Amino acid sequence: MNIAIGCDEAAYQLKMVMIRHLKTKPGVAVTDFGAQAGETVLYPDVAKAVAEAVARGDYDRGILFCGTGIGMCITANKVPGIRAAVCHDPFSTERARKSNDAQILCMGERIIGPELAQYLVDIWLQCDFSGGGSTPKVERIKEIEHTYYEQNKNEQNKDEKGE
C-alpha cells in the first residue's frame, strides 16, 4: 500500500513518528509531502498536494497532520473524489473506512498522542470499505460532489464567454 503523508509545522513531530511507524509495516511505502524540520508551510498547500495525489491514484491513501486535523480535512475534502475524515478515536477511525470509504485520515498533534495515533493508523490501514448499506450513501456523496463540480464548470464557462 502506498501512503502519502503530510503535515504543517504544528505536527512535524507526529508526522515523523508516523513515518517511522509505517516503515515497519510490510508492504507499506510512505512518501512525505509535509513540512520539514524548521520549515513553515501553509497547511492548505500540503493538504491539496496529498489529496490530489490520492485522487489521481498515485497513492492508495493519505494521512494528514496539523494542530487539530480540521484544517487539513476541510482542505482535502475540496479536492474532487476525496473523502477525508478527522479521527481521534478507534470507532470513528474504523467507521471512516468501513462506512464512508475515507481515503485520507486527518489527525491533530495538539489533540492526540503518538501511541494512540499509531494505533488508529493501524486500524485505518486494516479496514476496507464494507459496501452494503453504505454504498448508496457514498454514491450519493459522489453525486452531490459531481453536481457542484458541474455547476462550477458551467459558471466558469459563462465567465470565460463574458456572459
**Same domain, yes or no: 48 and 114:** yes
**Same domain, yes or no: 61 and 138:** no
CB 87 within 8 A of CB 96: yes
Measured distance CA(38)–CA(148) in Å, rounded: 38
**Same domain, yes or no: 90 and 43:** yes
**Same domain, yes or no: 136 and 146:** yes
Structural domain containing residue 54? 2-130
List the chain residues with pLDDT less than 70.
Answer: 163
Q: How many CB atoms lie within 10 A of CB 14?
A: 22
**Same domain, yes or no: 137 and 87:** no
**Same domain, yes or no: 13 and 45:** yes
3-class state of residue 152 by DSSP: helix
pTM, two decimals, is: 0.90
**Same domain, yes or no: 96 and 154:** no
Report pLDDT for 130: 86
Our answer to whether residue 127 is catalytic in this structure is no
Number of domains present in the structure of the chain: 2
**Among 7, 66, 87, 106, which one carries the catalytic annotation?**
66
What confidence tens digit (pLDDT) does each residue in 69-79 have? 999 999 999 99
Report pLDDT for 131: 85
**Same domain, yes or no: 150 and 98:** no
**Same domain, yes or no: 18 and 96:** yes
Report pLDDT for 65: 98
**Same domain, yes or no: 85 and 122:** yes
CB 10 within 8 A of CB 110: yes
**Same domain, yes or no: 43 and 94:** yes
